[in-house]
């Protein structure tokens, strides 16, 4: 029987939550006890500061607990309007960060409780806008991660994140359903892929199902070029770090391009809002590094332009050796003094030197013994395999300027988060960023990495105190 | 059952006229009504006469899905046992009158033609505590309850035909039978004379007692409605398409009503 009583004086005894679930996130209604001793499972909080729900007897509550349908708190907690239980299960890949955000935003009524299957049971005040904002944010993060994994054809990871997004979403989202359906299909679960669309139709009608279907088709088209990509654990690590750090999100404007001699590519997009990386579909860098390219780079350098290109393979070095153009060699020799770069990074980021160690020890140090070109251009070229490569111009300057510019842009992109995010996430982001640099520069001997900067980039906004 | 209902109408001509007006709508409605089973809720109203009969643990959703069926279990009350019901899965015809539980299984009414079943124009369990005769002078001892149940227990295969007449006889607008809130009354007082002092609709909603297991497949199920998105992830692939999450979260009753209304409209 439904009953209601005042919130004032009521206590939270526990919550109705399944003991286990495939979902990484569950939201559960609370079980509360009023001053009169009445126990009920909360269905709604009324505007008269009362709580309403299905009442049951104490022995029924005990039965609920005994049968594992509900959980009891170690001790009762005072009820506030809007309180609910959020269960962060171990399959939620970023639950530590999520918990920190709940804590930092003071959305928790008390610290989390360890539940079944190592779940974290969080009493959350949904009456505050912050809790719902967080849930939205987690949803968008999961969506972003799912898309990023899709770009590297990691379908099981795509599915995991799409399911997280679906579970967290407070309402059905057409794009999330489209991605979920797509992921099921790629994971060989065609029945559920179709079921997802059918479910959308059942929930919201034909128009909504059509929207989901169209979005799924868009996703398929967008990702069609990576269907047969091999699984590269290094690329996977980098991608994961990038997206977990929140630095990358899929888009259409820019991409960071990894390519290796055995002919596969990974496309990432939008390293930071103001740094654009160009899509390139070169299947083999050796196709790109040829006499024509040497002429091209020489011309660029002669005009004071810059191009970023990193080669690591012995074959590439041999290729360079065949280049007799002294201009290029001299450019390589005057490549940035390491210490100077490091100082610039520290000045820009105000991070300790330890944060730069990846770049120092694994990145630039190694790089110094390799070939590194700085030049500039903006053009498109046709590869031997018929694909198109875009190369964009960067502003004139030497190597220091380019790397400083990259870092400045990254810092600039991160500054709002640094100012607003009270958690340690920003430190993680920064660390992930340096790790990214390290990974970029520490590819296997087979790998070649090319970084192209955008055309006419804006001046980095570096505040005075950062200088 | 149907005869008694018709006799009651004959004694109330204005009501008979109203029923005649509603009949077409009631037929359209009931022919589209699934059988609604709410779960997962671990306890059910205990029968004080025989509490040991009901000390059981209802299965969790995962356990139900793992078994692939809604398993008929011992009935809630001895009265039902005395009426020959030894195993049962409870449903309401066309409404979620049982208000609790995070999942609703909506079975095809056609199962009433293929499986052993019975029905009552009220919640059998409510006779214990929550419902009583409208006439305050009427005796309502256990023996009265047992007789009342026996008098109003119909055979499952007749449930649809009966329900058309029942809804027509109680509602000016038949869809109200589906959509009335938990605490509400029909437009006309129940012909069987039962009422709920708290106004709970279980005093007049049609309960179906399926006396066999119900297989969880699309042959037997029209739809499963889950209270929240996360529960959908637990649903097996072959049932995922017929399992929309309730929107907004938790509003299963609304989702049931919307579905039946939509189905009737379609």
Task: For B143-156, give one letter per residue: b (16+ CB within 10 A) or e.
Answer: eebbebbeebbbeb
Task: Select the more confidently predicted residue: B150 or A4.
Answer: B150
3-state secondary structure of B194: strand
CA distance B177 to B204: 9
Residues of chain A with C-beta less than 8 angstroms from the C-beta of B233 = 21-23, 163, 166-167
Tell whether B251 lies on the interface with A, counting CB pairs under 8 A: no
- Of B40, B58, B237, nearest to A191 by CB-CB distance is B237
Cβ contact, residue pair B233, A163, below 8 Å:
yes
pLDDT at A219: 85
Cβ contact, residue pair A56, B43, below 8 Å:
yes
Residues of chain A with C-beta less than 8 angstroms from the C-beta of B183 = 2
pLDDT at A181: 97
Task: Give the pLDDT band (50/70/90) at residue B57.
Answer: low
- Of B42, B237, B241, nearest to A64 by CB-CB distance is B42
For residue A378, pLDDT beyond 50: no
Are the C-beta atoms of A310 and A448 separated by less than 8 Å? yes
- Selection from A75-84, A272-281, A403-412, B213-222 with the highest mean pLDDT: B213-222
3-state SS, one letter per residue, for A257-272? EEEECCCCEEEEECCE
Are the C-beta atoms of A392 and A278 separated by less than 8 Å? yes
The alpha carbon of residue B38 is apart from the nearest alpha carbon of chain A, in Å, by: 14
Residue B167 CA, chain-centre distance (Å), reads 13
- Selection from A11-20, B98-107, B227-236 with the highest mean pLDDT: B227-236
Q: A16 pairs with which residues across the strands?
A: A70
Tokens of A230: 């091999």
**Which runs of E-coded beta strand occur in B54-163?**
69-70, 89-93, 103-107, 117-120, 132-133, 154-155
- pTM (2 d.p.): 0.66
pLDDT at A224: 58
Are the C-beta atoms of A458 and A403 separated by less than 8 Å? no
pLDDT at A432: 34
Residues of chain B with C-beta less than 8 angstroms from the C-beta of A180 = none
Q: A25 pairs with which residues across the strands?
A: A88
pLDDT at A152: 65
Residue A246: left (phi > 0), alpha (psi -120 to 50), or beta? left
The residue behind tokens 């380019």 is A402
Question: What percentage of chain A carries pLDDT values higher than 70?
Answer: 46
CA distance A45 to B175: 29
Q: What is the mean pLDDT of residues A18-26?
A: 83
CA distance A154 to A231: 8
pLDDT at A347: 52
Tokens of A279: 């899509």
Residues of chain B with C-beta less than 8 angstroms from the C-beta of A172 = 229, 245, 247
Cβ contact, residue pair B234, A21, below 8 Å:
yes
Task: Select the more confidently predicted residue: A301 or A72.
Answer: A72
- Of B61, B247, B250, nearest to A29 by CB-CB distance is B250
CA distance A54 to A16: 12
A399-420 and A338-349 helices, crossing angle to 10°: 20
The alpha carbon of residue B193 is apart from the nearest alpha carbon of chain A, in Å, by: 21
The residue of chain B nearest to residue A189, with distances taken between CA atoms, is: B237
CA distance A88 to A98: 9
The alpha carbon of residue B149 is apart from the nearest alpha carbon of chain A, in Å, by: 22
- Which of A233, A226, A306 is closest to A268 using CA atoms? A226
Task: Please state which of the ranges A5-14, A37-46, A260-269, B227-236 shows the lowest mean pLDDT.
Answer: A260-269
Q: Checking DSSP bridges between strand A113-114 and strand A120-125, what pairing results, if any?
A: antiparallel
Report which secondary-structure segment, H or E, holds A163. Answer: helix A155-168
pLDDT digits (tens, 9 = 90+) for B59-82: 778 888 999 999 999 998 899 999
pLDDT digits (tens, 9 = 90+) for A131-158: 888 999 999 989 988 887 776 677 888 9
Residues of chain A with C-beta less than 8 angstroms from the C-beta of B243 = 195, 199, 202
- How is A258-327 classified by DSSP, letter by letter? EEETTS-EEEEE-SBTTB----B--S-HHHHSSHHHHHHHHHHHHTT-B--EEE-SHHHHHHHHT---HH
For residue A429, pLDDT beyond 90: no
Are the C-beta atoms of A2 and A55 separated by less than 8 Å? yes
For residue A401, pLDDT beyond 50: no
Q: What is the mean pLDDT of residues A351-360?
A: 36
Distinct helix (H) and strand (E) counts, chain B: 11, 11
Task: Select the more confidently predicted residue: A103 or A381.
Answer: A103
The residue behind tokens 């309403």 is A52
CA distance A277 to A254: 5
Cβ atoms within 10 Å, residue A456: 9
For residue A324, pLDDT beyond 70: no
pLDDT at A300: 40
Task: For A339-365, give one letter per residue: b (16+ CB within 10 A) or e.
Answer: eebbebbeebbebeeebbebbbebbbe
3-state secondary structure of A329: helix
Are the C-beta atoms of B130 and B248 separated by less than 8 Å? no
Are the C-beta atoms of A186 and A158 separated by less than 8 Å? yes
Cβ contact, residue pair B231, A21, below 8 Å:
yes
| Chain A with chain B: Cβ pairs closer than 8 A | 111
For residue B121, pLDDT beyond 70: yes
Mean pLDDT of chain A: 60
Task: Give the pLDDT band (50/70/90) at residue A2.
Answer: confident
Cβ contact, residue pair B200, A195, below 8 Å:
no
pLDDT at B58: 67
pLDDT digits (tens, 9 = 90+) for B142-165: 999 999 999 999 999 999 999 999
Tell whether B247 lies on the interface with A, counting CB pairs under 8 A: yes
pLDDT at A418: 36
How far separated are the first and last CA of chain B, in Å rounded?
31
CA distance B160 to B167: 10
- Of A167, A171, A204, nearest to B230 by CB-CB distance is A167
Task: Select the more confidently predicted residue: A187 or A312.
Answer: A187
Task: Select the more confidently predicted residue: A346 or A459.
Answer: A346
Cβ contact, residue pair A166, B43, below 8 Å:
no
Cβ contact, residue pair A192, B237, below 8 Å:
yes
pLDDT at A201: 93
Are the C-beta atoms of A427 and A349 separated by less than 8 Å? no
For residue A307, pLDDT beyond 90: no
Are the C-beta atoms of A70 and A17 separated by less than 8 Å? yes
Which residues of B, range 45-84, sit inside 8 Å of A by Cβ?
A: 57-58, 60-62
Question: Phi/psi at B199 (nearest 5 deg)?
Answer: 80, 20
3-state secondary structure of A255: strand
A18 burial type by CB count under 10 A (0-12 exposed, 13-18 middle, 19+ buried): buried
Suggest the residue from A14, A195, A197, A198 to mutate for an interface test with chain B (most B CBs closer than 10 A). A195
Cβ contact, residue pair A69, B60, below 8 Å:
yes
pLDDT at B25: 93
CA distance A316 to A309: 12
Are the C-beta atoms of B201 and A162 separated by less than 8 Å? no
Cβ contact, residue pair B242, A166, below 8 Å:
no
Tokens of B17: 């006229």
Cβ contact, residue pair A166, B229, below 8 Å:
yes
- Of A23, A56, A203, nearest to B233 by CB-CB distance is A23
**Which runs of E-coded beta strand occur in A141-271?**
255-260, 265-269
Cβ contact, residue pair A64, B43, below 8 Å:
yes
- Which of B217, B225, B164 is closest to B40 using CA atoms? B225
How far separated are the first and last CA of chain A, in Å rounded?
67
DSSP annotation of A362 reads I
- What sign does the dihedral B127-B131-B134-B136 (CA atoms) show? positive
3-state secondary structure of B150: helix
> Which residues make Cβ contacts (< 8 Å) with residue B34, sequence separation at least 6?
B94, B106, B107, B108, B109, B222, B223, B260
For residue A217, pLDDT beyond 80: yes
Task: Give the pLDDT band (50/70/90) at residue A375.
Answer: very low
Residues of chain B with C-beta less than 8 angstroms from the C-beta of A67 = 42, 57-58, 60
Residue A95: left (phi > 0), alpha (psi -120 to 50), or beta? alpha
pLDDT at B174: 93
For residue B119, pLDDT beyond 80: yes
Suggest the residue from B61, B230, B231, B265 to mutate for an interface test with chain A (most A CBs closer than 10 A). B230
Task: Select the more confidently predicted residue: A398 or A301.
Answer: A301
The residue behind tokens 């309960």 is B207
pLDDT at B132: 93
Are the C-beta atoms of B119 and B162 separated by less than 8 Å? yes
Cβ contact, residue pair B237, A67, below 8 Å:
no
pLDDT digits (tens, 9 = 90+) for B176-220: 999 898 889 999 999 999 999 988 899 999 999 999 999 999 999
The residue of chain B nearest to residue A180, with distances taken between CA atoms, is: B233
Residues of chain A with C-beta less than 8 angstroms from the C-beta of B247 = 171-172, 203-204
- Of A54, A66, A169, nearest to B99 by CB-CB distance is A54
Are the C-beta atoms of A219 and A178 separated by less than 8 Å? yes
Question: What percentage of chain B carries pLDDT values higher than 70?
Answer: 92
pLDDT at B38: 85
Are the C-beta atoms of B9 and B16 separated by less than 8 Å? yes
Task: Give the pLDDT band (50/70/90) at residue B238.
Answer: very high
Residues of chain B with C-beta less than 8 angstroms from the C-beta of A197 = 241
């Amino acid at each position: 029987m439904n009953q209601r009583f005042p919130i004032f004086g009521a206590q939270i005894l526990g919550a109705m939550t399944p003991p286990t679930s495939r979902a990484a996130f569950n939201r559960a209604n609370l079980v509360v006890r009023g001053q009169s001793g009445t126990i009920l499972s909360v269905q709604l909080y009324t505007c008269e500061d009362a709580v309403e729900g299905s009442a049951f007897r104490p022995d029924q509550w005990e039965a609920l607990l005994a049968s594992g349908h509900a959980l009891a708190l170690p001790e009762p907690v005072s009820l506030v309007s809007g309180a609910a239980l959020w269960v962060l299960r171990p399959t939620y890949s970023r639950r530590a960060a999520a918990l920190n955000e709940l804590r930092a935003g003071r959305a928790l009524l008390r610290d989390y409780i360890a539940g079944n299957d190592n779940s974290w049971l969080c009493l959350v005040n949904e009456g505050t806008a912050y809790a719902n904002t967080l849930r939205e944010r987690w949803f968008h993060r999961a969506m972003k991660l799912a898309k990023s994994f899709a770009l590297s054809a990691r379908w099981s990871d795509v599915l995991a994140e799409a399911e997280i997004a679906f579970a967290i979403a407070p309402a059905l989202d057409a794009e999330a359903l489209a991605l979920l359906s797509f992921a099921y299909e790629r994971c060989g679960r065609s029945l559920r892929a179709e079921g997802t669309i059918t479910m959308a139709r059942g929930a919201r009608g034909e128009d909504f199902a059509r929207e989901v279907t169209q979005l799924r088709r868009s996703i398929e088209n967008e990702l069609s070029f990576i269907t047969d990509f091999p699984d590269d654990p290094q690329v996977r690590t980098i991608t994961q770090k990038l997206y977990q750090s929140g630095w990358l999100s899929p888009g259409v404007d820019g991409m960071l391009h990894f390519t290796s001699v055995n002919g596969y590519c990974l496309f990432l997009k939008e390293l930071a809002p103001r740094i654009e990386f160009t899509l390139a579909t070169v299947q083999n860098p050796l196709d790109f590094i040829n006499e024509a390219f040497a002429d091209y780079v020489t011309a660029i350098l002669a005009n004071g332009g810059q191009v970023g290109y990193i080669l690591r393979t012995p074959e590439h070095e041999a290729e360079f050796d065949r280049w007799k153009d002294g201009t290029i060699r001299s450019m390589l020799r005057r490549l940035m003094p390491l210490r100077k770069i490091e100082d610039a990074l520290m000045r820009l980021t105000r991070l300790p030197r330890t944060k730069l160690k990846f770049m120092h020890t694994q990145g630039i140090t190694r790089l110094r013994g390799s070939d590194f070109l700085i030049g500039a251009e903006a053009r498109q070229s046709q590869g031997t395999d018929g694909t198109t490569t875009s190369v964009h111009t960067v502003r004139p300057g030497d190597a220091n300027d380019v790397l400083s510019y990259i870092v400045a842009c990254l810092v600039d992109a991160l500054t709002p988060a640094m100012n607003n995010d009270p958690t340690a996430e920003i430190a993680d982001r920064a660390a992930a960023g340096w790790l990214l640099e390290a990974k970029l520069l520490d590819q296997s001997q087979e790998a070649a990495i090319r970084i192209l900067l955008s055309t006419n980039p804006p001046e980095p906004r570096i505040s005075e105190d950062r200088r | 059952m149907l005869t008694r209902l018709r006799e009651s109408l004959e004694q109330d001509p204005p009501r008979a006229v109203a029923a005649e007006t509603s009949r077409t709508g009631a037929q359209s409605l009931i022919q589209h009504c699934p059988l609604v089973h709410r779960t997962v809720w671990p306890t059910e109203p205990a029968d004080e006469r025989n509490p040991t009969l009901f000390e059981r643990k209802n299965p969790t959703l995962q356990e139900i899905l793992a078994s692939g069926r809604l398993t008929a279990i011992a009935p809630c009350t001895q009265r039902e046992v005395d009426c020959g019901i030894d195993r049962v899965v409870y449903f309401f015809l066309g409404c979620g009158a049982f208000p609790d539980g995070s999942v609703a299984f909506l079975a095809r009414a056609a199962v009433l033609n293929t499986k052993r079943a019975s029905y009552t124009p009220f919640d059998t369990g409510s006779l214990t505590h929550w419902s009583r005769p409208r006439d305050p002078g009427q005796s309502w001892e256990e023996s009265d309850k047992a007789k009342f149940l026996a008098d109003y227990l119909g055979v499952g295969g007749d449930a649809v035909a009966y329900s058309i007449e029942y809804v027509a006889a109680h509602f000016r607008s038949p869809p109200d039978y589906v959509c009335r809130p938990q605490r509400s009354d029909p437009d006309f007082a129940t012909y069987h004379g039962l009422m709920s002092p708290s106004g709970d609709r279980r005093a007049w909603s049609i309960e179906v007692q399926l006396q066999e297991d119900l297989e969880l497949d699309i042959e037997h199920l029209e739809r499963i409605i889950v209270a929240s998105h996360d529960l959908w992830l637990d649903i097996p692939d072959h049932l995922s398409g017929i399992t929309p999450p309730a929107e907004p979260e938790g509003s299963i009753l609304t989702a049931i009503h919307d579905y039946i209304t939509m189905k009737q409209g379609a």
